[in-house]
Amino acid sequence: MPARIIDLTHLLNEQITVYPDTEGPKIVSLNNVAEHGFAELQITMVLHSGTHIDAPCHVIQDAKSLSDFPLSKFMGPALVIPCTGIDAITLEYLKTYEPLIAGIDFILFYTGWQHKWKTDAYFANCPTLTPEAAKWLTMFQLKGIGFDAFSVDPIISAHIVTEENLPNHHILLGKEILLIENLTNLDQLPSTPFAFHCLPLNIENADGSPVRAIAQVEG
């Protein structure tokens, strides 16, 4: 039976939820078929809009950008870990998944926040990793981790970002474990490993990029 494709990407438009104090996308029609014979949209947005990936240089001076990594960095076997109904993703909780984590490239954390997309409730703090749990994850050969929420850290204003209030960003990106944020449809994924792809745009020196994240599920 051929693999089933599950889209893990939110639709990108001007109505998406954006991180506090961040400007949302602006989409303008420059040309249309009726008047000009061809259609052409112009989009202006920060690279961390919608479903996107963070590079180490997003928060670490002189660290790698997305264009510094090979394509293989953005695909591989993944595991979804359910985190609904808990306040924090602790080391004790993660250790129950250790045998599976040891054999995969990506962990996707299903918090249930995907269902709050485009509502004020999306800004409430979702379950995030404790710094102890984040440091433990750096022991594995992970390429990245993802969330169906804004951030691997509690939400703050984009105007007051420091290493102290984004500890998990620094712990994980410091080890070149990429961060994929604002995923969706994680509730449709199996409890067993599956193939995951999250290819960024090929932008030189990119600190982040929108991605079309998908899962390939057998059967």
Whole-number Å distance between alpha carbons of 92 and 57? 30
Q: Residue 65 gets which letter from DSSP?
A: -
| pLDDT over 70 at 15, yes or no | yes
Phi, psi of 48 (to 5 degrees): -105, 40
Task: Work out the mean pLDDT of the chain and round it to a whole number.
Answer: 95
Whole-number Å distance between alpha carbons of 170 and 167? 5
The model's confidence at residue 24, banded by pLDDT at 50, 70 and 90, is very high
Whole-number Å distance between alpha carbons of 17 and 213? 18
| pLDDT over 90 at 168, yes or no | yes
Whole-number Å distance between alpha carbons of 2 and 65? 35
Choosing from 10, 52, 58, 197, which is the catalytic residue?
58
Least confident residue range of 154-158, 192-196, 215-219: 154-158
Residue 76, strand partner residues = 196
The burial class, CB within 10 Å (0-12 / 13-18 / 19+), for 137 is: buried
Residue 58 annotated as catalytic: yes
Q: What is the pLDDT of residue 1?
A: 61
Q: Which residue has the tokens 């809009």?
A: 49
Q: What is the pLDDT of residue 131?
A: 95
Q: What is the pLDDT of residue 156?
A: 73
Q: What is the model's pTM? A: 0.94
Q: Which helix H or strand E contains 218, and what residues bound it?
A: none
Q: What is the pLDDT of residue 219?
A: 73
Q: Which residue has the tokens 């960095």?
A: 73
Give me the residue spans of the domains in the chain. 4-10+47-217
* Number of Cβ within a 10 Å radius of residue 48: 22
Whole-number Å distance between alpha carbons of 42 and 76? 32
- For 78-131, what is each residue's pLDDT tens digit? 999 999 999 999 999 999 999 999 999 999 999 999 999 999 999 998 999 999
Q: What is the pLDDT of residue 60?
A: 94
The burial class, CB within 10 Å (0-12 / 13-18 / 19+), for 201 is: middle
Residue 212, strand partner residues = 199
Cβ-contact 58, 173 below 8 angstroms: yes
Cβ-contact 204, 213 below 8 angstroms: no
Fold of 4-10+47-217: Glucose Oxidase; domain 1 (3.50.30)
